Structure 1
Amino acid sequence: MSQHVADPPASATTRATSLLRSRNFLLLWSGQTVSELGTRIAGVAVPLLAADTLHASVFQVSLLTFLAWLPYLVFSLPAGIVADRVDQRRLMILCDVGRAALMLALPVAALVGQLTLGFLYAVVGLSGVLTVFFTVAYKSLLPRLVPAAQLVDGNAKLIMSQDGAELVGPTVSGVLIGLVGATRTFFSNGLAFLLSAVTLLLIREAAPENPPAPRERVPLRVEMTDGLGFIRRQPILVKILACTTTSNFFVMASASIEVTFMLRELHASPVQVGLVFSVSAVGGLIVGALAARLSAWIGSARVIWVAMAVPGPFYLLMPLARPGWGVLLYGVGLAAFSANAVLFNVASTTYRQRITPPAILGRVNAAFLWICFGVIPLGALVGGALGTALGLRTALWICVLGTWSACLFVVFSPLRTMRDMAEPGASAAVSS
């Protein structure tokens, strides 16, 4: 058996730029960048395939979003158990290969005349299940590859890839669909997942010096709630979870009506709508590049509530947007939220990774996903209901104020008296 060689350990004083010399991290980062780009391409290609090629109704197209998010509500907790029991990297590879096969099945089915709406639903739903298992394992793998002192920088770079993919993915998808059609575009998605699997396969980790003792088997019901139990015993994690869940609910509520708002209230053209979303991604990219420096300057614990509270006034620009180039006010508001989301997610994820014992990190991550993503379908339904009952602009005011209100959970928490996260085995630094 060949010996796996890991990157040399880094001290707490190692500069963040050393991640760019870490073979394992660069493999993970490059693979996830390609995978995120493929996901964004599919985000445009799937509804277009349903609407144009399969002639689906508006409701039938909306079911695709429902099926994509439903697995987080159903499978997150079981995925946490699996991620803690098996090798997380191998689990991610299996998920990537499975998602590649599902994406490649779409153009193949079209070639043999078997592509139906039901088949598309099955592919989206099964891909969603694999994505849940991949995401839970993915959030647990990074602390094994990156020293604790560099988790902020590592998380920031990975989230930057998501924003970069969001910036260019829809444009790339549109070009591909125009050149080869919606069905053949899924060859690029399959290739993206396969490339991600290859980069994960090339990662080499050293065996731990003190391997953990085999865990005692406990009833499945008890194991599924271990993550929730750990969160309940951590006051800061409870506040972060409440903040994230509230924000996700109102953000999805606004997302469900924002395109309709721009088209019907602001009379925006498709080009202007695309420009708005491109502007919004820029905020996340800029903050992602500066996340490590901002965290060090503001404080690695304090930045969690600052990131949620400070950008809030800019959200109000979204319902204040007006026709013409005033539509860009909506883009500025979205850019502020994108910046907030990147900085908050980097800091809060790092906090969770640092205080959670590795043996249950998968279940804790799964519990977060189960609650935070479980409210997303409900938020979308509420946004549509508010827009129908109160009008789009009034509904948007409710949504943006609700999004900003989420900061209250972390502002009025122990984080307000902390500057930095505690080092393992140390106390958190308290601000003067």
Structure 2
Amino acid sequence: MRSDSPWRVSDFRTLFSAAVLSHLGTNAGYVAVPLIAVEALDASPGEVGALATLATLAFLLIGLPAGAWVDRLPQRRVLIAADTARGLLFASVPVAWWCDALTLTQLYAVVLLSGCATVFYDVTGQSILPRFVGRDGLVQANAAMVSLMAVTNVVGRGAGGGLVQLLTAPLAVAGAAVSHLASAVRLLWLKEAAAPAVPADRTREPLRAQIAAGVRHVLGNKELRALALCAALTNLGSQILNTMMPVLFVRELGLSAGMLGIYWAAGGLGLLLGSRCARSVAARLGYGRTLGLAGLVLAPAGLLVPLIGQGLWLWVAGAGWLLAMFKTGIDNVLGVSLRQRMTPDAMLGRMNATFRFLLTGALAVGAAIAGLLGELVGIHPTMWVGGALLATAFLPVFLSPVRTRQDLPPQAAPTPTPTPTPTTPRPAAEAKGTGATTS
């Protein structure tokens, strides 16, 4: 029997330690790659926007089928392959730079292909977690993973900015490559990683039908739909802001890469504080009320971010960014725990893939909008669009049944597999239902 504490589960400790390395690599690359484009390749705001779009486009291209595949594939191998691929792709950037052959086209290819690997890594990581820690340990495990993401945002982005300033951006990307490869090696110690057995009827079910079942499970449930819409709008607004940050800091404000790293690290600190407070506040106020009040009180701080400028305004905008990310940290812990509890094991991969499709697809759309608006109306008006979206993203949850939920729902029951009648020779069609959900 699994303990309520995830730290007593050796596979969770292995997954967590590998995620430390993987997230450090991701965040170092997050700072270094756009700075390579701006400083070394003289990229325009539109080209920076295209780079950020391609980094997340994979979730729109393969995000939904990835969930169906992850529900069937050996998940330990998926995680290892994804981190290995990202490490090798990032390693190609400093090699090309040293050979004086680095181009924007190569950066576009690297971020697109590494984004494909990230699809499988993220979907698999969220799908495998409940099998390691049990449903009773989900909130604590998710709090640990979101806290990790926040800490690595602080350390990885701060270090990424510092490495760019001290060693140049291509060498910072080399550090990101090493981190991903080290994570792949650590995952070799992962033992319990097999996906649950796939029923015989599902092995014959068309991929499109399996994807549709996952989409209906999410969009057909009022609470899951509200959580998805809130998170997608948050990502849309934050990506518009983040896409313009390197251009704003380096070109318009004349600030260093190190200052950009510190600014992004402040958002990571907000994520960390929010994730650490989420459990205790939810235990006192209730899960839904915590999500609703956090949005009502903290989300408007997103309107402070477009005020960014020299002197005092840099601190005002930084405080707004920290508060907005504090709210996001709370959302990540409680929202992910809610959706995992509402989903049966056999649907986890498809549920997570649907969320990642919507959430990370919003990042791709946000980056494209940022690049387009940056070229047409300028950087500062574009920042105000992002800030307004970030400030209002809480409304879908605030106006939904989620706001009244006191506790986590009971564990979702497995989706029943009806026995086909002789006149219905297509048992796969019966699996298209949404499964057990909480309405």
CA distance in 2, matches of 1:428, 1:62: 38
CA distance in 1, matches of 2:67, 2:190: 22
CA distance in 2, matches of 1:345, 1:388: 32
CA contact (8 A) 1:302 1:420 kept: no
Opposite residue 286 of structure 1, the aligned amino acid is: L
- In structure 2, the partner of 1:103 is 90
Given the superposition, is the C-alpha separation of residues 174 and 242 from structure 1 closer, same or farther in structure 2, using an over 3 Å criterion? Answer: closer
Matched, 1:328 2:315: yes
CA distance in 2, matches of 1:387, 1:74: 25
- What is the CA-CA distance between 1:57 and the residue it aligns to? 5.1
CA distance in 1, matches of 2:31, 2:404: 44
2:155 to 157, 160, 168: 168
Opposite residue 159 of structure 2, the aligned amino acid is: V
CA contact (8 A) 1:78 1:224 kept: yes
CA distance in 2, matches of 1:69, 1:230: 23
Opposite residue 222 of structure 1, the aligned amino acid is: A
1:283 to 244, 248, 270: 270
CA distance in 1, matches of 2:82, 2:193: 23
Matched, 1:151 2:138: yes
Matched, 1:129 2:116: yes
2:337 to 325, 346, 350: 350
- In structure 2, the partner of 1:220 is 207
Q: How does 1:20-419 map to 2 (within 5 A)?
A: 20-54=7-41, 56=43, 59-110=46-97, 115-177=102-164, 180-205=167-192, 213-214=199-200, 215-258=202-245, 267=253, 269-270=255-256, 273-319=260-306, 323-383=310-370, 396-419=383-406
Counting aligned pairs with the same residue, the percent is 33
Opposite residue 142 of structure 1, the aligned amino acid is: L
Given the superposition, is the C-alpha separation of residues 398 and 192 from structure 1 closer, same or farther in structure 2, using an over 3 Å criterion? Answer: closer
- What is the CA-CA distance between 1:179 and the residue it aligns to? 5.3
SS of corresponding position for 2:361: coil
Opposite residue 64 of structure 2, the aligned amino acid is: L
CA contact (8 A) 2:154 2:269 kept: yes
CA distance in 1, matches of 2:100, 2:311: 45
- In structure 1, the partner of 2:2 is 9
Given the superposition, is the C-alpha separation of residues 316 and 296 from structure 1 closer, same or farther in structure 2, using an over 3 Å criterion? Answer: same
Deviations for 1:205-240, whole angstroms, at most 9, x for unmatched residues? Answer: 2989x9554334112222222211111331111111
- What is the CA-CA distance between 1:80 and the residue it aligns to? 0.9
CA contact (8 A) 1:301 1:421 kept: no
- What is the CA-CA distance between 1:166 and the residue it aligns to? 1.8
CA contact (8 A) 1:33 1:158 kept: no
CA contact (8 A) 1:160 1:289 kept: yes
Opposite residue 96 of structure 1, the aligned amino acid is: D
SS of corresponding position for 1:310: helix
CA distance in 1, matches of 2:130, 2:259: 41
SS of corresponding position for 1:85: coil
Answer with 245-254 or 74-83: which moved more: 245-254
- What is the CA-CA distance between 1:370 and the residue it aligns to? 1.5
CA distance in 2, matches of 1:98, 1:104: 10
- What is the CA-CA distance between 1:32 and the residue it aligns to? 0.7
TM-score, normalised with respect to structure 1: 0.84
Deviations for 1:49-102, whole angstroms, at most 9, x for unmatched residues? Answer: 344445555544443212211111101012112101112222111111222222
CA distance in 1, matches of 2:226, 2:20: 30
CA distance in 1, matches of 2:62, 2:346: 19
Answer with 121-130 or 132-141: which moved more: 121-130
Given the superposition, is the C-alpha separation of residues 372 and 176 from structure 1 closer, same or farther in structure 2, using an over 3 Å criterion? Answer: closer
- What is the CA-CA distance between 1:425 and the residue it aligns to? 6.3
SS of corresponding position for 2:71: helix
SS of corresponding position for 1:86: coil
CA contact (8 A) 1:268 1:327 kept: no
Answer with 33-42 or 158-167: which moved more: 158-167
- In structure 1, the partner of 2:427 is none
Unaligned runs of 5+ in 2: 414-435
Given the superposition, is the C-alpha separation of residues 386 and 343 from structure 1 closer, same or farther in structure 2, using an over 3 Å criterion? Answer: same
Given the superposition, is the C-alpha separation of residues 258 and 238 from structure 1 closer, same or farther in structure 2, using an over 3 Å criterion? Answer: same
- What is the CA-CA distance between 1:202 and the residue it aligns to? 0.9
C-alpha RMSD of matched pairs (Å): 3.2
Deviations for 1:340-373, whole angstroms, at most 9, x for unmatched residues? Answer: 1111011111111111111121111111121222
Opposite residue 65 of structure 1, the aligned amino acid is: A
Unaligned runs of 5+ in 1: 1-7
Opposite residue 6 of structure 2, the aligned amino acid is: L
- What is the CA-CA distance between 1:409 and the residue it aligns to? 1.1
Given the superposition, is the C-alpha separation of residues 301 and 147 from structure 1 closer, same or farther in structure 2, using an over 3 Å criterion? Answer: farther
Given the superposition, is the C-alpha separation of residues 148 and 385 from structure 1 closer, same or farther in structure 2, using an over 3 Å criterion? Answer: same
TM-score, normalised with respect to structure 2: 0.83
Matched, 1:420 2:407: yes
- What is the CA-CA distance between 1:397 and the residue it aligns to? 4.5
SS of corresponding position for 2:406: strand
